[in-house]
Structure 1
């Protein structure tokens, strides 16, 4: 795929959705961090239901620590892997208090040092909470990038590096959300909705559904 096509793809995605954002519900960087930790192998809808119970009761590191492990689990037990997530969240809350005055750091290395926070989670927080031009490659972005040929790669990191190289600077801040939403609702895994796709004529997927 050439760069002219990529520019047009993101121009159209922007025109269709000028202000994209995450579907996770949050009010502070800390709430976003907790929501993203909970979202691993879970749906945003499921996470939002759990945080709607949790955040009114505890939405700071100190407040979550005050709940204790069983108290936290009671609020998030509807989410898969909630036992290990609860352990990581409590450790992360303690690390934030011990090392960052209870605030979420705006630094990749510091974020990735938190229990339960990997590169993808750090990218989401840096992008969504702090406006950094990072791209967190999840299954949707990986699929869309390879299927359309916007940024093909054999690994998640390869796709991330390629996207950061080829996505025009103007669009880098919001590219993460456009690609996730496109993969979630249009370029779906089993049956892509090519007939509803605003970039169908630019896509280089050889098996796309004819319109």
Structure 2
């Protein structure tokens, strides 16, 4: 895919959604961090339902530590892998207090050193909470990048690095939100809605279909 085509793709995505953001509900960098940890192998809708009950009660490292592992589980038990997530969140809260005065750090190295925080989670926090041009490649972005030809790669790290290199700079800050939303609602896994896709004529997918929803 050539540079001009990428520029046109992201121009259209920006025109359709000028201010994209995560669909996770949060009011602070800490709330976002906890929500993203919870979102692994879970839906944003499911996470939002749990945090709508959790955050009014505990939305700081100290408050979540006060709940303890079992107390935290009561709030997140509707989410997949909640046992291990509760353990990691408690450890992360303790680490934030011990190493960062209770504040969420704004570097990849410090974030990835927290229990339960991998590269993708760190990238979401860096991009969404701190406004850094990071690319959190999830299954949606991986699929859209490969299917459209925007930035094909064999694994998520390869796709991430290609996106960071190939997405025009003016779009880099919001690109991962546009790609996630496009993959979630239009370029879906089983039935991509090519017939109602705003970048269908630019996409290099070989098996386009007329499906519209």
TM over 0.5: yes
Counterpart CA distance in 2 for 1:123 and 1:190 is: 27
Q: Which residue of 2 aligns with 1:4?
A: 4
Q: Which residue of 2 aligns with 1:170?
A: 170
Q: Secondary structure at the match of 2:174?
A: helix
In the TM superposition, what whole-angstrom CA distance separates every residue of 1:110-140 from its partner, at most 9, and x where no partner exists?
0000000000000000000011000100000
In the TM superposition, what whole-angstrom CA distance separates every residue of 1:86-115 from its partner, at most 9, and x where no partner exists?
000000000000000000000100000000
Q: Secondary structure at the match of 1:65?
A: helix
Q: Which residue of 2 aligns with 1:140?
A: 140
1:1-211 map, 5 Å: 1-210=1-210
- Asked if the contact 2:124–2:135 (Cα under 8 Å) also holds between the matched residues in 1, the reply is yes
Deviation at 1:210, TM superposition (A): 3.8
Deviation at 1:147, TM superposition (A): 0.1
Deviation at 1:196, TM superposition (A): 1.2
Unaligned runs of 5+ in 1: none
Q: Secondary structure at the match of 2:161?
A: helix
Q: Secondary structure at the match of 1:7?
A: helix
- Asked if the contact 2:193–2:210 (Cα under 8 Å) also holds between the matched residues in 1, the reply is no
Counterpart CA distance in 2 for 1:189 and 1:7 is: 24
The root-mean-square deviation of aligned C-alpha atoms, in Å, is 0.6
**TM, length-normalised to structure 1:** 0.99
Counterpart CA distance in 1 for 2:44 and 2:210 is: 31
Counterpart CA distance in 1 for 2:168 and 2:145 is: 15
In the TM superposition, what whole-angstrom CA distance separates every residue of 1:158-186 from its partner, at most 9, and x where no partner exists?
00000000000000000010000000000
In the TM superposition, what whole-angstrom CA distance separates every residue of 1:30-66 from its partner, at most 9, and x where no partner exists?
0000000000000000000000010000000000000
Q: Which stretches of structure 1, 4 residues or longer, exceed 3 Å deviation after superposition?
A: none
**TM, length-normalised to structure 2:** 0.98
